[in-house]
Structures are given as structure tokens and as C-alpha cells.
């Protein structure tokens, strides 16, 4: 009988993520102001932190676009893969930011004044080109990999700041959250 893989690396990784998130959130105000150390939150990942991007790109968004998704907190479907809030929603609230639209719903600089959520359900760490080179069927793989999400981030950053110095200043005051890719 084969030995079961050790859970230590997974447990350690989860503990480190929890520690860093707790540190980041505790460094921010709890009174609903945005005077904390972060001016923006930028998130990347898959359905665990997707606040609606999947619904905006998919021609068949599936159950996430209808009840019971969103019922508990938002009282309507939001594109979150939950009936309530995601961990990123609690972080946004703790930072004192309003719930901002997912990247694919945002249209103006004002939509991204507190950051952006680039996560997309089924997001992958690797892009489709790698899968194609390996002769794998990419029809079921979302085209919104980490690389694509980083490209979106660069567009938002350019929208928020016109000079390199301004972009660096925004990044220096921003919290970046990279969620899971390919984990579910």
C-alpha cells in the first residue's frame, strides 16, 4: 500500500497565507475609512476570489448567474461562486473600500480607484499556448490565465496613472493578492 503524501507543505502554505492576510488586514482601519497603509487592492486567481469576471466573459455562465448564488449578502446573483461573500470581500471591507466591480465589468478609471479583481473561475497559472504545444484540448480551458490577468492589471495601472513614477507610487501603496489557480 502506497504511503499518503504528507499534508505538511499544504498546511504550512495555508498557515503562511492566513498569517500574511491577517497581517495585511490588521494594518488597516476597521472604521470604514481608507486612511490605512493600502490605497488599492489588486487580486488575481480563480473562482475562489472571482467576483464576477466569469459571468462577463462566458457565453454560458452557468449557475453562478442565478439564485441561490449571491442571496445571503448581496440578495441577487453577483457572479461569485458563493451564496454570500468571498474572502476577498471581507478583506475589501476591512480595508474600508467599497465592493468594486470585477475587472470585466469596470469601464472607467473611477471603477478602479480602489483596485481591481482580475480573478476568473477556472483561471490557470499557464496560458493556453502551453496546452496547445502539448496537444491538449484547450476548448475546456479558460483563456484567462495568470499572464492574461497580469496584462489586465497593466491596463488598469496605465489608466490610473500616466507616468512611471505615479504607477510605482500606486504599486508601493497597494496590496496584491494572488489566489489559487487550478485548485478546484
Q: How many CB atoms lie within 10 A of CB 31?
A: 7
- Report if residue 8 sits inside a domain: no
Nearest to 179 by CA among 101, 78, 82, 87: 87
Q: How far apart are CA 102 and CA 118, in angstroms?
A: 7
Query: Phi and psi (nearest 5°) for 115?
Result: 120, -160
Domain total for the chain? 1
- Report if residue 64 sits inside a domain: yes
Range of the domain at 165: 37-178
pLDDT of residue 171: 97
- Report if residue 28 sits inside a domain: no
pLDDT of residue 152: 97
pLDDT of residue 164: 97
pLDDT of residue 24: 54
pLDDT of residue 58: 79
Give every residue of the chain whose pLDDT is below 70, as ranges: 1-35, 183-184
pLDDT of residue 104: 94
- Report if residue 146 sits inside a domain: yes
Amino acid at each position: 500500500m502506497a504511503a499518503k503524501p504528507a499534508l505538511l507543505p499544504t498546511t504550512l502554505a495555508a498557515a503562511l497565507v492566513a498569517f500574511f492576510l491577517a497581517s495585511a488586514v490588521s494594518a488597516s482601519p476597521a472604521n470604514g475609512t481608507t486612511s490605512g497603509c493600502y490605497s488599492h487592492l489588486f487580486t488575481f486567481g480563480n473562482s475562489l476570489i472571482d467576483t464576477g469576471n466569469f459571468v462577463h466573459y462566458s457565453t454560458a455562465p452557468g449557475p453562478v448567474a442565478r439564485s441561490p448564488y449571491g442571496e445571503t449578502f448581496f440578495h441577487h446573483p453577483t457572479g461569485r461562486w458563493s451564496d454570500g461573500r468571498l474572502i476577498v470581500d471581507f478583506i475589501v471591507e476591512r480595508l474600508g473600500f467599497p465592493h468594486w466591480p470585477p475587472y470585466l465589468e469596470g469601464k472607467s478609471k473611477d471603477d478602479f480607484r480602489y483596485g481591481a479583481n482580475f480573478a476568473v473561475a477556472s483561471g490557470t497559472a499557464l496560458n493556453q499556448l502551453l496546452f496547445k504545444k502539448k496537444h491538449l484540448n484547450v476548448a475546456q480551458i479558460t483563456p484567462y490565465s495568470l499572464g492574461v490577468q497580469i496584462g489586465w492589471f497593466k491596463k488598469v495601472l496605465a489608466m490610473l496613472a500616466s507616468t512611471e513614477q505615479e504607477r510605482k507610487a500606486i504599486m508601493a501603496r497597494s496590496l496584491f493578492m494572488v489566489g489559487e489557480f487550478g485548485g478546484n
